[in-house]
Amino acid sequence: MFNSVFKISTTLALIASATMFSTFAIASGDVAKERQTLMKNVGAATGAGAAMVKGEVEFNAVAAQLVLRTMNNGGLGFGYMFPEGSETGSETEAAPAIWSDRAGFDAAVNKFVAETSATVTDLDGFKAAFGVATANCGACHKAYRVKKN
């Protein structure tokens, strides 16, 4: 009897803690992991844009606009995805400077957002806009990304 009560309560406790854990996971998410995915999405868009710029795939204005919009979407997300408390975990490469120099980081994000807002209609226009947009990648990573641990 005691044994089965113990089992039930243990099970309930486990379920409760699992629920709490998943509630926590949904509420705050693994933001470090999510921003890595967002970065990868931006990277995929960059890859598609680069292929068009290099002539590996044919220029298409709709696709080119989608490339810039995806980058822009990423930029809009970055402003929210480095909250206090997400400095570590998930093998983050986010530099401490993001939190110690928030104004500088926000300015870099805003610059990226602004410079991915162009409307493109032809290949030359896209080449110019894409060049300006992608210059942000290295510039921001130089200051706000650290070597992996």
Partner 1 sequence: MIKKLSIVALLFAVIGSAVFWVLTLPNNMQPNELAAFPDGDADAGETMFWAGGCASCHAAKGATGDAKLVLSGGVELKTPFGTFYAPNLSQDQQNGIGGWSLGQFANAMKRGVSPQGEHYYPAFPYTSYTRMTDKDVADLYAYIKTLPKDATSSKPHEIGFPFNIRRGLGLWKKLYLDSAPVIAVEDGNAQLVRGRYLVEGPAHCGACHTPRNLIGGPDIKKWLAGGPAAEGTGSIPNITAHASGLGGWSAEEIADSLKTGFTPEFDSFGSSMADVQENMAKLSDEDRAAIAVYLKTIPAVESSVKN
Instruction: Give the C-alpha distances (Å, rounded to integers) separating 107 from 11, 15, 59, 78.
Output: 50, 44, 31, 11
Is residue 72 a contact point for partner 1 (CB under 8 A)?
A: no
Of 96, 103, 41, 98, the C-alpha closest to 72 is 41
Is residue 141 a contact point for partner 1 (CB under 8 A)?
A: yes
Residues 6+ apart with CB under 8 A from 126: 49, 52, 53, 59, 61, 64, 68, 120
Choices 55-63, 75-83, 117-125, 130-138; region in contact with partner 1 by CB under 8 A: 130-138
Task: Determine the residue type at 126.
Answer: F
Distance CA 112, CA 114 (A): 5
Q: Which is nearer to partner 1, 44 or 57 (CB)?
A: 44
Minimum gap (Å) between residue 61 Cβ and partner 1: 21
Q: Which is nearer to partner 1, 86 or 144 (CB)?
A: 144
Is residue 43 a contact point for partner 1 (CB under 8 A)?
A: yes
Pick one of 27, 56, 62, 142: the residue that binds partner 1 (CB under 8 A): 142
Is residue 107 a contact point for partner 1 (CB under 8 A)?
A: no
Site string for partner 1, 79-98 (x = CB under 8 A): --------------x-x---
